Amino acid sequence: MLALPVLIIFLAIDGIQPNAVLLALPLLMIIQFVLTVSLAYPLAAINVTFRDTQHTLGVLLQMLFYLTPIFYDLKSVPKEFQPLYQLNPMVPLIEAYRAILLKGTQPDWQALLIVSLVVAALLPIGLGIFRRQSDTFVEEL
């Protein structure tokens, strides 16, 4: 969110004109925020009990970073691996950001709806895990 104004300035310098699809950016940010929170709740609860989670999580996040098409286009992934790539919930979000900011087109709303439904299911589960474990946080620390 803090880097977005800088990105928009660089896109303007590069000659990309803003248009009406930029109004979809807050929706993407909300979906991404809720996804992050829904994954952070259970990871925070697990980290209190199992201290090595933070080290494992660092390696896992680095692996997922390279498995998410951020610095490369999804079309460069071989066709047989693309369904596997689509299981990563960040792929539709990154593609939506790319469609809005770089291409100036509408994102794939169907893929974003699926991600939103998954996120809506994950949030109560993650929050439930966190609340159930929170009673033991003081004892563990």
44 in Cβ contact with 130 (< 8 Å)? yes
Domains in the chain, number: 1
Q: Which two tokens stand for residue 103?
A: 């291409």
Residues 6+ apart with CB under 8 A from 62: none
**Is 11 inside a domain boundary?**
no
**Prediction pTM value:** 0.85
Give the mean pLDDT of the chain. Answer: 88
**Is 5 inside a domain boundary?**
no
**Is 4 inside a domain boundary?**
no
**Is 9 inside a domain boundary?**
no
Provide the pLDDT for residue 94: 93
**Is 2 inside a domain boundary?**
no
Q: What is the mean pLDDT of residues 94-114?
A: 92
pLDDT digit string, tens, across residues 15-60? 888 788 988 999 999 999 999 999 999 998 888 888 888 888 889 8
Range of the domain at 81: 19-140
**Is 7 inside a domain boundary?**
no
**Is 60 inside a domain boundary?**
yes
Q: CA of 71: how far to CAs of 76, 77, 85, in Å? A: 11, 12, 15
Position 118 pLDDT exceeds 90: yes
**Is 84 inside a domain boundary?**
yes
